[in-house]
Structure 1
Amino acid sequence: MDRMTPLDALFLEAEDEEAGVSMAISSIAVFEGPAPATEEFATLLQGRLPLIPRYRQKARQLPFDLGPPVWFDDEHFDLDYHLRRTALPAPGGDEELSALTARIMAARLDRDRPLWEYWLVEGLRHGRWALISKLHHCMVDGVSGTDLYGVVLDPTPDPQPPIADDWSPQPEPTTPALTAAAVGQLLLTPIRQLRLVASGLRHPRTLARSSWSVGRGLLALSEAIRPVSRSSLGGSLAIGRRFAFGRADVAEVRAIRHALGGTFNDVVLTAVTGGFRELLLSRGETPNRLSVRALVPVNIRAPGEESIRDNRVSLMYARLPVHIEDPVERLAAVRAQLDNLKSAHEVDSVALLTELAKHEPFPLLAPVYRFAARFPQRSVITVVTNVPGPRQPLYALGRRLVEIIPYVPIGSTARIGVSILSYCDSVAFGVTGDFAEADLDVLVDGVRKSLTKLAGAASAV
C-alpha cells in the first residue's frame, strides 16, 4: 500500500462529476498499419505490467480525510476491462479522431478500478491505427505519462521479450486498519514539523537565502490573483468536451528560436498566444493585456527522474500578450515575462509550498483542495503545457509510431486548455475545450498562422 502525495491527491480531489470535470490526461499515438488484434496487443501489454505497478492498483480515499488517498492492489484486476477497441467512421481523418477523443475523455474513470484505459482505434486514413491512452492525473503528470511510451513500446521494430511476472495481489486493507494507520501518521505530524524547523535552523544562511527567494516568488504569485478581463474564454463548464489539434515541425521551431532568440518553450507559447488572439478577434472581442492568463506547469524532476510515476511539477502564471499584433514583438514580450517569472523564483515558491504540504495534516488540506477546485475563479483562463516526448522512433509490435497528439484536461472556469508535445521531428498542439467551444479550429489555425509568421521573420534575419 502506498500513500498519495498531497499533489497527487489534489488532482483526485479536483474531479467534479456534477460540473463535468474529469482529471484524466491523455495522448493519441498514431501508428503505421495494419492494426494488431486486441489479443496480440493485450499480450504485449501483459508483458509490460510488472514495470507499471499503478496499472494494477486502485485508489481509495480515507474516512473523514484522515490521510491522503492510498494505492492498493486490485485483487480482481482484469486487463480486458482496461483495453478497449473501436473504429473511426469514414474517412477516418483528424475531425473524426478529434471527436472520438473528446467523447472518450469526457467520461470520468471508474473509481472502483485502476484509473486508466487504453483504446485501440482502427480506421484511420492511410491504413493507420491509433492508441488513445487515458490516465488519471493523480497517477502521472505529462512527463511521466509520456515516459510510459518508452516502457510499453519498443525502440526497434523487433518486439522485446515480455518481463517475467510473479505479481500476486496483496489483500485490500480494511477500513479499521487504514484509519488506525492514518491516525498514527497524524500523531507523528508535529514531530515531523519540528524536525523540519530544526533542520532549517541548523543552516541559518541557507534558510535566509531560501526565505528571500520564496518571498519574492510569493510576491510574484500575488499578481496571479488579479482577475483577467471578462471574455468568452471563461465561464462554467458543460458536461462534454471538444478537441482539435494541429501540427508543426521541430526544425521550424528551432529555426525560429535560433534566429529570433528565446527557448523552444518561448516560441510555442508565443504561437499559442497568437492562437488566442485570433480566437478573441473572431468572436468580436478586443484582446488586451489582461485577457488571457495561463497556468503553465513546469517539470521539476532532476535528470534521470522521468520514470518516477507521480506528479512532480510546479507552476508559473503567465499573462499571454494577446494584445500585441506583431508576432516578433509578441515573442519578445513572452520571453521577457517568463524570464521575469523565473528570476522572481515563482516556480521555486510553488514547489516549496507543495513540499511543505507533505508535512501538514491532510484533514486540513482536503477541504482546501475541494474548495479551490470548485471556486469560480477569474484569474486563470487557460492551461498551457509543453512536454518533450521521445526523441527516437518507437514501435508497437513492429509498427512504427508516427506521431503523438497530447490532450490536457480542463476544470474550474477555464474553458480551454492547450497541450504541446514533440516526438522525433514533429510537434503536435492539442486543444481541449468545453462542449460549448465550437470554434476550437480557429485557435488551432491561429497557432499555425503565428508559427508561419515567426518562421518568415526568422528567415529574413
Structure 2
Amino acid sequence: MAIMPVTDSMFLLAESREHPMHVGGLQLFELPDGAGPDYVSEFHRQLLSLVDVSPLFRRRPRGPVGSVGQFAWTGDDHLDLEYHVRLSGLPRPGRVRELLELTSRLHGYLLDRHRPMWEFTVMDGLQGNRFATYTKAHHALLDGVSALRLLQSSLSEDPSDMAVRPPWSPRVRTDVFGSAPRDRDHDSAFDPVRAVTELAKEVRGFGAATVKLVNEAFREQSATLSFQAPRSMFNVPITGARRFAAQGWPLDRIKAVLKATGTTMNDVMLAMCSGALRKYMLDLGTLPEKPLVAAIPMSLRTDRSVGGNAIGLILCDLATDRAEPLDRLTTIHESMLRGKAVYHGMSRLQITALSALPLIPLAVGTIPGMIRITPPAFNVLISNVPGPRKPLYWNGARMQGVYPLSIPYEGQALNITVTSYAGSLEFGLTGCRRTVPHLQRLLGLLDESLEELEKAV
C-alpha cells in the first residue's frame, strides 16, 4: 500500500456528486491516408489488445473508500480494460458542436473509486475526415502537467512510427494486468505513525513561510491577497453537470503582442481572458465594480516525473474594471510579478502549503449555505500548461489539437485551462451547465479580446 500525499488526497476528500474532481483532455486526430470506414473501430480493438498496463493506471483508492481509501493507494490486480477504454459514436451530423456536447456529458459524471480512476473514450463519426479521443483521470492521480507529459511521451513526432502505444501501456513491456507489479509497500498494513511522520515532514518550515507571506502582503502590499475578490456570477453553488467549449489561436499572434509590450505569453493569455470576461459579464449586466481576481496554478515540478500533484497558486488582478486593453495587460503583468516575488526563496513544500490558503473557502463551500455567506478567495481559476511544440502522431494519425478540461469547484463555476501545441494556444473552458449561460460565446469574446490587444500595440 502506498501512502497518498496530502496534495493528492485532498481531491478525493473534496469530491461529491455535485463536485467531480477529475481532469480531462479532448484530442482531435486526422485519419491517416488510406484509412477505411472501419479505421476507428479497429483502432479501438487494437487498444483493447494492449493488456500491459503500467502501475500508475492500476492505482485505485484503498478500501473502504470512505475512510483510509482517501489516504492510500492500492494496485488493481484484475483491471477490466474494456470498462476503461470505450468507443462512442457521435450523433449526426458529427460537427464540433456534437463533439463538445458529448464531451461535456462524459466530463460530468464521477469516476468509480472501486476501480483505477481513469477512462479513455474513442469518438467516431466526426466530420472532416477526423476522429477524437477523450481522456479522463482523477486529479488525485494526475495533474495537468503530468497528463500532458504522458500524452507527449506516448505519441510520436514521426508519422511513419507505427509502434505508438496509449499512455496506460508503456512501450517497454512490464507484465500483463493479471499479475500487477507491486508498489514497494503494496502489501504492508497501513501504518498511522508512518503517515503522521510523513505529514510532519511535509509541513516543516511552514511557520516561517507564513510569516514571510504576511510581511509581504500586508506590510509591503506586494501581493494580491485572498478575500479581496468581489462577489460575481461565478461564485455560486454549482451542479455536477458540465458544459465545455474549446478553440485554438496561433501562437504567433500572442508572441507579437508580448514582444511589443515586454510582457509574457502567460500575461497576454490572461489579458485575453480578462477582456473576454469583462464583455461577457457586461452583456449579462453582472460585471462587479471591483476587478475580478484569478487563481493561477503554477507547476512546482523540477523533474520529468508523472503522477500525483505538484502545484502552487498565484492570485492575479485581472483588471476587469478597466476599459483599455493595454491597461489591463499592464496591471496583469505587474500583479503576476508581485505574486511570484512572494514565493521567492521558499521550498516546494512551503509554496504548496501557502497555496492551499486561498483554497480553504472551496472546502468550506461544500457545507450547505456557506458559499452565500463567505467571501470568495478568487473569482475564476485560469491555468496555463505548456504542451508539445511539434506535431504529434498516433500510428500515422496526426493530432490536430488538444484541448484541456478541468474542474469547476463549489463557488467557482468556471474554469479556463490553456495549453500550447504545435504553434497554437489551445483554450478549454469548463463551466457548470446551469450557472454559466452561453459558454460558447466566450470563445468569440476571446478572439475579440486578442484583436483589441493587437490593435492597441
Equivalent residues of 1:217, 1:349 under 8 A apart: no
Q: Distance in 2 between matches of 1:72 and 1:423?
A: 34
Larger helix proportion of the pair: 1
Pairwise mapping of residues 22-37 of structure 1 onto structure 2 (< 5 A)?
Answer: 22-33=20-31, 34=35, 36-37=39-40
Task: Specify every segment of 5 or more residues in structure 2 that has no aligned partner in the other structure, as ranges.
Answer: 165-170
Pairwise mapping of residues 183-262 of structure 1 onto structure 2 (< 5 A)?
Answer: 183-186=192-195, 188=197, 213-216=212-215, 219=218, 224-226=225-227, 228-262=229-263
- Please list the CA deviations of residues 20-63 of structure 1 after superposition, one character each: whole Å capped at 9, or x if unmatched: 1111111111000157444544545765955x422122122668
Pairwise mapping of residues 10-409 of structure 1 onto structure 2 (< 5 A)?
Answer: 10-17=10-17, 20-33=18-31, 34=35, 36-38=39-41, 40-41=43-44, 43-44=46-47, 47=50, 52-60=54-62, 69-157=71-159, 158-160=161-163, 162-167=171-176, 168-169=179-180, 181-186=190-195, 188=197, 213-216=212-215, 219=218, 224-226=225-227, 228-290=229-291, 292-302=292-302, 305-345=303-343, 348=346, 351-352=349-350, 354=352, 371=364, 374=367, 376=371, 377=374, 378-409=376-407
What secondary structure sits across from 1:316 in the alignment? strand
Structure 1 residues 344 and 370: alpha-carbon distance in aligned structure 2, compared to 1, 3 A threshold = closer
- Please list the CA deviations of residues 201-230 of structure 1 after superposition, one character each: whole Å capped at 9, or x if unmatched: xxxxxx98x676444466579963325333
Structure 1 residues 173 and 370: alpha-carbon distance in aligned structure 2, compared to 1, 3 A threshold = farther
Equivalent residues of 1:47, 1:165 under 8 A apart: no
Superposition RMSD on alpha carbons, in Å? 3.5
Letter in 2 for 1:5: P
Q: Distance in 2 between matches of 1:68 and 1:272?
A: 35
Structure 1 residues 15 and 90: alpha-carbon distance in aligned structure 2, compared to 1, 3 A threshold = same
Fraction of identical pairs, as percent: 27
Q: Distance in 1 between matches of 2:235 and 2:76?
A: 39
Equivalent residues of 1:243, 1:430 under 8 A apart: yes
Q: What TM-score, normalized by structure 2, do the two folds share? A: 0.84
What secondary structure sits across from 2:238 in the alignment? coil
Q: Distance in 1 between matches of 2:379 and 2:39?
A: 41
CA drift of 1:344 comes to: 2.4
CA drift of 1:92 comes to: 2.2
Equivalent residues of 1:23, 1:409 under 8 A apart: yes
Report the count of equivalent residues: 432
Equivalent residues of 1:105, 1:241 under 8 A apart: yes
Per mean C-alpha deviation after superposition, the further-off stretch among 71-80 and 259-268 is 71-80
Q: Distance in 2 between matches of 1:221 and 1:60?
A: 43
Name the residue aligned to 1:362: none
Equivalent residues of 1:153, 1:395 under 8 A apart: yes
- Please list the CA deviations of residues 131-155 of structure 1 after superposition, one character each: whole Å capped at 9, or x if unmatched: 1111111111111111111233222
- Please list the CA deviations of residues 349-392 of structure 1 after superposition, one character each: whole Å capped at 9, or x if unmatched: 8850636999xxxxxxxx99954655525222211011111111
Q: Distance in 2 between matches of 1:64 and 1:31?
A: 39
